[in-house]
Structure 1
Amino acid sequence: MTTHDDEALLATGEIELIGLIESSSNSALLAQVSTEGASSMAIYKPEEGERPLRDFPPRIYRRERAAYVLSDALGWDIVPPTVLRDDAPFGPGSVQKFVPHDPTQHYFTLYDSHPETHEQLLRVAVFDVVANNTDRKGGHVLLDPDGHVWGIDQGLCFSAPFKLRTVIWEFAGEEIPPELVKDLEPMLDDLPSELEDLLFPVEQLAIQMRITELLEAGRLPFDETGGYRIPWPPL
């Protein structure tokens, strides 16, 4: 099944709730999404379960979709297929394909013990700068059985002020690979049109400003705060 097949399934399938993911700060529910011909495990994040935040507007579930739209447009396959559903059991929310993974593996173990993932991890680091990810914890980086690295929990992204908080600092100062530069350059002229419905105009402009700064620097930034741009808890 291709990524866009997964997206179609998530958008149209019947949602059967399985249970609450206890570790989630906002309500995240494990579900199975099924049609007559296919099914997939998924994570459903309803607006009803969101906690009010001082620095993000309501409906952060829409930013999960925005992160997928950006990742898909770049061709990076970082964010699992994610759709918006108004007809879900607890009302409007995001539905994201569940990534099978070993829960003992996370960013820190991958970086230390799986050097073959470093190229993918660097790509996640670039994506997080572009998306202004404010909550890249180690446990939000998953390795699937095929060796592909995914990033989940992107609700706290796309703020216009620079708020990057991430555990991925091992690549600070490294050059951005030419192939990633080539993928980013078209975004300076045209962002995916769907982002107009998901983000504020100033947030869309900020994406392009961050890309401009990244391409001008040619390398990933350092943590200029001296170690404070790390989410809590880090895992």
Structure 2
Amino acid sequence: MAGREVTLLTEGSIELVGVIPRSSNQTFLVQVSLGEDVGFAVYKPESGERPLSDFAPGLYKRERAAYLLSEWLGWGFIPHTVIREDAPLGVGSLQWFIECDFQHHYFTLFEDAPETHPELSRMALFDFVANNTDRKSGHVLRGDDGRIWGIDHGLCFSAVFKLRTVIWDFAGEPIPEELLADIAPLAEAVPAELAELLDDDEVTALQRRVQRMMLAGSLPVDRTGMRYPWPLV
């Protein structure tokens, strides 16, 4: 299945289906097809990005970078994400669409599905490493396949610490040794394919965040009470 998804995303023809509502930047549902094989993806073109004072244009690169980081760590919770130069509205990210019940999100999963807590806690660690400034509750999905997925990572990897997330329920808890082992190599070097999508200051800042986590050994605590995105969902 994974090979099929990657093939469709990288080689398939792209047809706009509709606009995904309530997105701060233009975001589209698209159909990708290759012969008789058809799937759906989320397309975020650079041309539809709203100018920001604290992030340079090219947020689509950060979507790809977050996917590469998740894959490199072996955590695999971000849907397959590629960059397409030949998309209908110009260059942008193309991410496999996750079939799910959108009534469920981080808050409902934390309350009603305690078996997901290890994965949600791991996502909190990822968001610190990636410096995610926009982990809303609705950016956490439970797919029809039962897996926990994270989406919307265009506002990650700033060199300035800007963490904003709804996942604070695990704050202060020890990080499992196996997860510390997963992130440890990043303290010394960031994979080239990921580093190429960031600037030098952002790469250095990522390494320093990992170094801090390795020393702390526990998930960060928000002592300000202000490190939340808005809206929360």
**Is TM more than 0.5 here?**
yes
Q: Deviation string for 1:10-39 (max 9, x for gaps)?
A: 011111110001111100000111112633
Q: Deviation string for 1:39-82 (max 9, x for gaps)?
A: 32100000111000011111111100000010000010121110
Question: Which of 214, 225, 228 is the equivalent residue of 2:226?
Answer: 228
User: What is the Cα deviation at residue 5 of structure 1?
Assistant: 4.1
Query: Are 2:18 and 1:36 equivalent residues in the alignment?
Result: no
Amino acid in structure 2 at the alignment position of 1:160: A
Query: Are 2:102 and 1:103 equivalent residues in the alignment?
Result: yes
Q: Deviation string for 1:193-214 (max 9, x for gaps)?
A: 1123210011011111101101
Give the TM-score taking structure 2 as reference length.
0.97
Amino acid in structure 1 at the alignment position of 2:188: D
Task: State the partner residue of 2:72.
Answer: 73
Q: Which runs of 4+ in 1 moved over 6 A?
A: none
- Give 1:86-235 correspondences, 5 Å limit: 86-225=85-224, 227-235=225-233
CA distance in 2, matches of 1:54, 1:21: 24
The sequence identity of aligned pairs, in percent, is: 56
Give the TM-score taking structure 1 as reference length.
0.96
Amino acid in structure 1 at the alignment position of 2:11: T
CA distance in 2, matches of 1:185, 1:39: 39
> What do you get for the CA RMSD once the two structures are aligned?
1.1
CA contact (8 A) 2:61 2:197 kept: yes
Q: Deviation string for 1:147-166 (max 9, x for gaps)?
A: 21111000000001110000
Amino acid in structure 1 at the alignment position of 2:226: Y
Name the SS of the counterpart of 1:205 in structure 2. Answer: helix
Name the SS of the counterpart of 2:168 in structure 1. Answer: coil
Amino acid in structure 2 at the alignment position of 1:228: M
Name the SS of the counterpart of 2:209 in structure 1. Answer: helix
User: What is the Cα deviation at residue 7 of structure 1?
Assistant: 2.3
Amino acid in structure 1 at the alignment position of 2:165: T
CA contact (8 A) 2:189 2:207 kept: no
Name the SS of the counterpart of 1:169 in structure 2. Answer: coil
Amino acid in structure 1 at the alignment position of 2:6: E
**Runs (5+) with no aligned partner, structure 2:** none
Task: State the partner residue of 1:17.
Answer: 16
Amino acid in structure 2 at the alignment position of 1:28: T
**Runs (5+) with no aligned partner, structure 1:** none
Number of residue pairs the alignment of both structures matches:
233
